[in-house]
Amino acid sequence: METVCYVLTALVAYLLGSIPTGFLVGQARGIDIRATGSGNIGATNALRVLGKPAGIFVLLMDALKGWVAVVPMAALVCALFGAPRGGNVHETSAIIAGVSAILGHNYTCWLGFRGGKGIATSAGVLLALVPWALLIIFVVWLLLFVTTRYVSIASMAAAATLPFASWLTHESLPKIIVTGAMGVLAICKHRGNIQRLLAGTEPRVGARDKEAAK
């Protein structure tokens, strides 16, 4: 029954994470967000292309997907299959749910397995799994964002800090390993940003529309 619980948790969490919020908000306005700005469906591009209210909405909804997958959804699946709350089964189910939700966002089946970078969804997952580690990397993100105005630099720095933050806050070994994998995945999803940073074409938050559209 545990195996069935894990498989079903992964499937449901993936489908939840795969809901392309930014794309849907853009479509509601008659805009294909994939063809505008950076082409990403995440909150940063939604903010640039659709404006602040839409960008904040996408950010919150993408984060909510991750949190819901780990907390109520994973617990519900465990309960349906008679798995006890707490202990290794519940922790494993929560970790599987979090990873699956992030993969769903990054590789959504509704858009040809092309999605966002998973930063907001990862934040929702981390809030549920390792809240104190999330606080540490948020401080790192905020400091880098304020000093550079680059969301990508702040996000990659926070991702690189994540496994160390999990270790410092005395999380379990499985959570440290998983947060390390999440950090690597997040950095890999920023390959295009790294190329634009090296070329000097990466847009800063607050830049003029012409620069942001590069």
List pLDDT tens digits, range 128-185: 999 999 999 999 999 999 999 999 999 999 999 999 999 999 999 999 999 999 999 9
Give the C-alpha distances (Å, rounded to integers) separating 198 from 73, 148, 191, 194: 41, 14, 11, 6
> By residue range, what is the domain housing residue 27?
1-129
Q: Is the pLDDT of residue 205 over 70?
A: yes
The answer on 106 and 7 residing in a single domain is: yes
Mutual orientation of helices 119-129 and 52-68 as an angle, nearest 10°? 40
pLDDT of residue 212: 39
Q: Which of 186, 187, 169 is nearest to 66 (CA)?
A: 186
Concatenating the DSSP letter of every residue in 141-162 gives HHHHHHHH--HHHHHHHHHHHH
**For the segment 107-125, what is each residue's pLDDT rounded down to a tens digit?**
999 999 999 999 999 999 9
Q: Is the pLDDT of residue 86 over 80?
A: no
The answer on 185 and 101 residing in a single domain is: no
- Domain end, chosen from 108, 129, 150, is at 129
The answer on 154 and 76 residing in a single domain is: no
The answer on 13 and 108 residing in a single domain is: yes
pLDDT of residue 209: 46
pTM for this entry: 0.90
- Domain end, chosen from 129, 157, 182, is at 129
For the chain, what is the domain count? 2
Q: How far apart are CA 80 and CA 96, in angstroms?
A: 17
The answer on 165 and 204 residing in a single domain is: yes
**For the segment 29-71, what is each residue's pLDDT rounded down to a tens digit?**
999 999 998 889 999 899 989 999 999 999 999 999 999 999 9
Q: Is the dihedral of CA 55, 60, 61, 62 positive or negative?
A: positive
Q: How far apart are CA 91 and CA 12, in angstroms?
A: 17
The answer on 139 and 124 residing in a single domain is: no
Q: How far apart are CA 129 and CA 177, in angstroms?
A: 13
The answer on 125 and 56 residing in a single domain is: yes
The answer on 167 and 199 residing in a single domain is: yes
The answer on 137 and 125 residing in a single domain is: no
Mean pLDDT of the region 197-209: 80
The answer on 166 and 113 residing in a single domain is: no
The answer on 11 and 62 residing in a single domain is: yes
The answer on 121 and 21 residing in a single domain is: yes
